[in-house]
């Protein structure tokens, strides 16, 4: 697992390291979660990488539509349980 608090550093790392899934919180210091998802999707396109699954952790169920429109593959609405998180990961990976 790799953690970033700088969205630009995270998008730059996509070409340097293999990831199975990306998890993005809705609230990050310098940028909102939906903008981060769009940034990551654009970085994948620019680097000609296969699209990675992205789980966006939402604060409100009302943001579900916008999360998918931004490019999130899946979402979880906070608060969620460890079982919810594991199920979301399992649905997107072979883990």
∠ CA 12-15-67, nearest 5°, is 65
∠ CA 53-59-62, nearest 5°, is 90
Predicted confidence (pLDDT) per residue in 42-67, tens digit: 999 999 999 999 999 999 999 999 99
Q: Can you list the domains of the chain with their CATH numbers?
A: 7-89 (3.40.50.2300)
Q: How far apart are CA 51 and CA 6, in angstroms?
A: 20
| Residue 27 confidence (pLDDT) | 81
User: What pTM, to 2 d.p., does this model score?
Assistant: 0.92
Nearest CA among 9, 15, 19 for reference residue 53: 19
Q: How many CA within 13 A on the CB side of residue 20?
A: 9
């Amino acid at each position: 697992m790799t953690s970033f608090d700088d969205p630009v550093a995270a998008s730059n790392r996509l070409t340097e390291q293999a990831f199975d899934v990306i998890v993005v919180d809705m609230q990050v210091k310098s940028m909102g979660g939906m903008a981060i998802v769009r940034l990551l999707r654009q970085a994948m396109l620019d680097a000609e990488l296969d699209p990675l699954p992205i789980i966006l952790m939402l604060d409100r169920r009302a943001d579900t539509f916008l999360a998918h429109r931004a490019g999130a593959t899946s979402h979880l609405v906070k608060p969620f349980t460890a079982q919810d998180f594991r199920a979301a990961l399992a649905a997107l990976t072979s883990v």
